[in-house]
Amino acid sequence: MDLQTLTYTVVGFTFALYIGIAFWARAATTGEFYAAGRGVHPVANGMATAADWMSAASFISMAGLIAFNGYGASVFLMGWTGGYVLLALLLAPYLRKFGKFTVPEFIGDRYYSRTARIVAVICLILASVTYVIGQMKGIGVAFSRFLETEYDTGLYIGMGIVFIYAVMGGMKGITYTQIAQYCVLIFAYTVPAIFISLNLTGNPIPQMGLGSTMADGSGTFMLDRLDQVVTDLGFKEYTTQVMGSKLNMFVYTLSLMIGTAGLPHVIIRFFTVPKVKDARSSAGWALVFIAILYTTAPAVGSMARLNLMNTIQTGEVGSAEGNVEIANVPQWMTNWEKTGLLQWEDKNGDGRIQYYNDKNAEFTAKAESYGWKGNEMTKVDRDIMVLANPEIAQLPNWVIALVVAGGLAAALSTAAGLLLAIASSISHDLLKGVFMPDISEKNELMAGRFAMAGAIAMAGYFGLHPPDFAAGTVAIAFGLAASSIFPALMMGIFNKKMNRSGAIWGMISGIGVTMLYVFQHKGIMFIPGTSFLGDMGPSWFLGISPNAFGAVGALVNFVVAIVVSKVTAPPPDHIQHLVEDIRVPKGAGTATDH
């Protein structure tokens, strides 16, 4: 069977599986639609949380960023796992004890204020929609490769499928489907990694392969070889290159960590376990399943980079025959050229491709002496690396088909979970909670579905011109969640004296500062050309990139909230008792709806 047919078969089979499960477990009541009736086992919940969590950013985008940023991309690895520690220790058990369906519901009740609830809904929608934009980028990349079309067409088709998929089921359907998706995506991620690690280092365990010697008998460590290969072409040394500065990396990591603990679609997961005890262990189980992919990613990224460099620089640097001939580029390069995400141009007309760092003045001088006239790989979209990886490593066709299915599973599961969070915040928190308390269950479900459709259309529109690679866009979403939701939740539990005004002003100033910083560098609503300070390093505050600014926003949130709460009236007694009550597990009943 040729690759195209095989890919259709594998993707078709996995889709039939998800839709079958979604149909079998489809939601009938609002309770099931939002929270699966709380009957989900911690291990199952952990696996579903992992699928929900690991999106296009983790599956498709992250290893590509690791490949090109080396050590600097550690921010994603630490940031997107370390947040689970915060979630488990600081939020999950208490939110489960509180026993409501949504994050704004907690904030509204804890801060005895409808305004606080509405502010939380707005923050949540901003973060979630930005997150879905990142997913749309990943979905567009996966579909364009899978259907061999342009990125834009792939994106439109992807939007349609996400819509059908998310609107049909609610949380319960999604929970069971996500378990299936986890299995598909983790299998699809680790199988090629094992093959590639075996090919390059002879060690079948990618985590060990990272620190092993090359299998070519040279006795050189894989990472040392990679450092050598990239620095020979003027790129920065893989294992030491930093992202911006150490300070930027520190803030970036922190922003992703607290964003993780503030994202509604992850928090909502801990409402669905039977007991407080289970909420604690669920976070651990989720991280176990996530860690399998995250500890494999450094091997995937570094080995993909090594294979890519070796594909183009086939011989000695500077020798006439040292580069791949354009007439003989491997099939995967021509496949990806069709999507517009990989492009090359023969600048010096020698019929071969030179791929090097032409921003490095020292190396450019050397390159000129070889007759090279600039870097000829004019576009290498980082987001294609994972999907192209098995093709680059010349793995069998079924592995390539599997990876496409895995990428789609990752992007779809997260998009569905986020859309559910958006739908519930609009239909449940805004309509039922604030504007139309008498709305019937049926109409509430209907409103939720309309909200999803609107969110997909909006995210798709921005997905045509995403502000960054999938992982970068998602990082902005984390910054927004970090600067608004997390501080309000944490202080709601750990600071009994935190009051309504403190929380509201904290959230507004936190997310306000973050959005202002992102927009002034990335464009208003990410529209290119509207950024009034320019997306450039020198204009960044202390060299902190917009993607990393959520941590600063969170700090502003904490400070403003504490100062405001000191000068305004303390929360009423019954609220202080409520806080005392959520601090102990005893008496956690099943969740109630108002």
Partner 1 sequence: MNKTAEQYWKANIRLVSVLLVIWFICSFLFGIILVDPLNTIKIGGVGLGFWFAQNGSIYVFLVLIYVYAKRMNALDVEFDVHED
In the set 236, 280, 500, 522, which binds partner 1 (CB under 8 A)? 280
Site for partner 1 contains 240 (CB under 8 A): yes
Site for partner 1 contains 410 (CB under 8 A): no
In the set 16, 291, 365, 525, which binds partner 1 (CB under 8 A)? 291
* Piece of 156-164, 276-284, 410-418, 557-565 that binds partner 1 (CB under 8 A): 276-284
Question: Please, which of residues 91-130 interact with partner 1 by CB under 8 A?
Answer: 93
Question: Please, which of residues 28-67 interact with partner 1 by CB under 8 A?
Answer: 66
Nearest to 139 by CA among 329, 331, 410, 492: 410
First vs last Cα of the chain: how many Å apart?
56
Burial class (CB in 10 A: 0-12, 13-18, 19+), 252: buried
Nearest-approach distance from CB 58 to partner 1, in angstroms: 13
In the set 84, 344, 517, 526, which binds partner 1 (CB under 8 A)? 84
In the set 287, 392, 421, 474, which binds partner 1 (CB under 8 A)? 287
Q: Are 62 and 471 in contact (CB under 8 A)?
A: yes
Which is nearer to partner 1, 207 or 397 (by Cβ)? Answer: 207
Nearest-approach distance from CB 583 to partner 1, in angstroms: 6
Q: Are 493 and 549 in contact (CB under 8 A)?
A: no
Site for partner 1 contains 211 (CB under 8 A): yes
551-580 mask for partner 1 (x: CB under 8 A)?
A: -----------------------------x
Site for partner 1 contains 276 (CB under 8 A): yes
In the set 112, 156, 187, 250, which binds partner 1 (CB under 8 A)? 250
Here the tokens at position 538 are 């020198």
Q: Where are the beta strands (DSSP E) in 281-430?
A: 342-343, 379-380
Return the residue matching tokens 């889709």: 15
Site for partner 1 contains 295 (CB under 8 A): yes
Q: Give Cβ neighbours of residue 329 (< 8 Å, ≥ 6 apart).
A: 353
In the set 144, 178, 253, 501, which binds partner 1 (CB under 8 A)? 253
In angstroms, the CA 416 to CA 169 distance is: 9
* Piece of 12-20, 281-289, 342-350, 449-457 that binds partner 1 (CB under 8 A): 281-289
Which is nearer to partner 1, 20 or 211 (by Cβ)? Answer: 211
Which is nearer to partner 1, 287 or 430 (by Cβ)? Answer: 287
Site for partner 1 contains 207 (CB under 8 A): yes
In the set 29, 228, 239, 530, which binds partner 1 (CB under 8 A)? 239
State the number of CA atoms in the 13 A half-sphere of 501 facing the CB. Answer: 10
- List phi, psi (to 5°) of 178: -65, -30
**DSSP-H helix ranges across 170-275:** 171-201, 206-209, 222-232, 246-260, 264-267
State the number of CA atoms in the 13 A half-sphere of 402 facing the CB. Answer: 18
Site for partner 1 contains 380 (CB under 8 A): no
Q: Are 84 and 290 in contact (CB under 8 A)?
A: yes
Site for partner 1 contains 246 (CB under 8 A): yes
Site for partner 1 contains 370 (CB under 8 A): no
Sign of CA dihedral 51, 57, 59, 60: positive
Site for partner 1 contains 277 (CB under 8 A): yes
Site for partner 1 contains 82 (CB under 8 A): yes
Which is nearer to partner 1, 42 or 390 (by Cβ)? Answer: 42
In the set 156, 221, 370, 398, which binds partner 1 (CB under 8 A)? 221
Nearest to 408 by CA among 7, 11, 4, 1: 11
Q: Are 70 and 241 in contact (CB under 8 A)?
A: yes
Which is nearer to partner 1, 475 or 564 (by Cβ)? Answer: 475
Site for partner 1 contains 218 (CB under 8 A): no
Q: Give Cβ neighbours of residue 551 (< 8 Å, ≥ 6 apart).
A: 251, 252, 254, 255, 258, 479, 482
In angstroms, the CA 304 to CA 508 distance is: 42
Nearest-approach distance from CB 183 to partner 1, in angstroms: 20
Q: Are 387 and 170 in contact (CB under 8 A)?
A: no
Which is nearer to partner 1, 216 or 580 (by Cβ)? Answer: 580
In angstroms, the CA 185 to CA 409 distance is: 6
In angstroms, the CA 511 to CA 123 distance is: 7
Nearest-approach distance from CB 100 to partner 1, in angstroms: 17
* Piece of 83-91, 137-145, 169-177, 353-361 that binds partner 1 (CB under 8 A): 83-91
Strand partners, 325: 352
Site for partner 1 contains 249 (CB under 8 A): yes
In the set 16, 89, 320, 516, which binds partner 1 (CB under 8 A)? 89
Site for partner 1 contains 90 (CB under 8 A): yes
In the set 164, 584, 590, 593, which binds partner 1 (CB under 8 A)? 584
3-class DSSP state for residue 352?
A: strand
Nearest to 430 by CA among 166, 125, 133: 125
Site for partner 1 contains 283 (CB under 8 A): yes
| Rounded (10°) angle between helices 151-168 and 397-424 | 60
In the set 6, 17, 43, 78, which binds partner 1 (CB under 8 A)? 78
| Rounded (10°) angle between helices 276-312 and 171-201 | 40
Site for partner 1 contains 298 (CB under 8 A): yes
* Piece of 184-192, 289-297, 324-332, 402-410 that binds partner 1 (CB under 8 A): 289-297
Nearest to 127 by CA among 499, 569, 481: 481
Site for partner 1 contains 71 (CB under 8 A): yes
Footprint of partner 1 (CB under 8 A):
66, 71, 74, 77-78, 81-82, 84-85, 88-90, 93, 207-208, 210-213, 221-224, 239-240, 246, 249-250, 253-254, 275-277, 280-281, 283-284, 287-288, 291, 294-295, 298, 580, 583-588
